[in-house]
């Protein structure tokens, strides 16, 4: 049952994150925080920027439509979460 609770909590956190992301800057800030959480001191800024730029480029239509939740989902899936 613990896994189900973890799943619910993770989705609630993701929904809260999606609601706070309103533009490219806040998405980049969210992505930076996520990368820092995952990689810590081993964070490679160039690789991080390539991933974030790639997501923004591949999902340009969604970003322009304000569908930041899709981009958050893609970013989180890139970490396996």
60, pLDDT greater than 70: yes
Distance CA 34, CA 36 (A): 5
- The number of C-alpha atoms within 13 Å of 71 and in the hemisphere containing its C-beta is 34
**Mean pLDDT, to the nearest integer, of 19-36?**
92
For residue 12, name the pLDDT band (cuts at 50, 70, 90): very low
Stated pTM of the model: 0.74
């Amino acid at each position: 049952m613990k896994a189900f609770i973890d799943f619910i909590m993770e989705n609630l956190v993701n929904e809260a994150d999606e609601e706070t992301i309103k533009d490219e800057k806040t998405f980049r800030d969210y992505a930076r925080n996520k990368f820092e959480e995952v990689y810590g001191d081993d964070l490679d800024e160039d690789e991080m920027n390539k991933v974030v730029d790639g997501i923004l480029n591949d999902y340009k239509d969604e970003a322009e439509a304000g569908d930041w939740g899709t981009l958050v989902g893609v970013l989180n899936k890139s970490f396996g979460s």
